[in-house]
Chain A
Amino acid sequence: MDTEAGQFPLRCNEKVFRSIAATVVPEAGTLGVDDWAEFYSLVEHALSMRPPAIVKQLSAFVTLINLLALARHARSFVYLTSGQRYTLLHSLETSRLGTLRKGMWGLRTLMLMGFYARPAGRAAIGYRADARGWAALRTQGTAQ
């Protein structure tokens, strides 16, 4: 997917977005250009099925995360340590405010989709379901 300005819905916060992704799924920190393109493609497809308001809310939520990082640590989320990032996101996930919990839940869902719905993401965790089922397992050893 082309990730030039205006293409990816959360493009305006791309560095923060990637840092959040790598906090939710640490392995996302090692993704290459093609992997990110796949990641964005999945997220973009999911967002395309949602009302535009949801995309705006998520974009605002990414901005809010960065503002919280600036307020708490005087640094952008991108430059926090992995421990600081985790603590900040965890505070949102367990917030007393339902809106923040739901925002974090939505963002986390997108990150997990972008990472684990990719063929390489599935393969990396040893998931090898095959339409041929038992035959694939018995004859080629590819099902498990």
Chain B
Amino acid sequence: MIEIHNIHKTFGEVKVLDGISGVFETGKTNLLLGASGTGKSVLLKCIVGLVKPDIGSVTFDGTYFTNNKLDIRQEIRRKIGMLFQGSALFDSMTVEENVVFPLKMLAPDMAKSERMDRVNFCLKRVGLENANKKMPSEISGGMKKRVGIARAIAPNCTYLFCDEPNSGLDPLTSYKIDELIKEITEELNITTIIVTHDMNSVIEIGDNIMFLYQGKKLWEGNRDEIMDADVKELQEFIFANRLMRDAKKVEEEESREQSA
């Protein structure tokens, strides 16, 4: 479980996060939902320690993370797996080398055969058993995300963070990535936090949802409650998403008619 208390962050004169608190439960997919520029990614970076909050704290399973001693923060960091928006694969390494990298760094005493077994297991789990020797430049966006997930879970992470895992993907691949993240969360009983602005993800896998608007937490609940939430900004966000989906459907139908 991850707890955040009163997180504030300002960049220059721009207040990006304004007193956000919350709890992210283990074994659940916890979503940070909001439009672009509402501070979701900054909040995620504050939680993992890439950005230091001006005020506030983060706790991992009762252990204080923010401003704690370096060795304690390092210990917690070694339990974190993260999928970045652009996958952030090391482009000088093959798929296999990318997935084995955290094992080499975090478990140097692990036998080579054991490491390779783990790598093959993770790649098979994400459906990429034949992509070991490919370079990141040779695989698609969806495959890169899956390699990113394999790399994140390879060292048996306790906390999984995903920054817009569906960005740039088609609807079917997005659905598969969402399902994969949910299955892994439940199988491994880990704490997963996903940053997204995709309502499809909310409906498919949102166990706990935190809605952010202009750096503030406006609503918290689950996917069963979100449609009836009495928050104007949230309803506008949902409506805008629906409009976009409907507009896209109309566009697709029109192009089908034209080609027919």
Q: Tell whether A and B belong to one assembly.
A: no
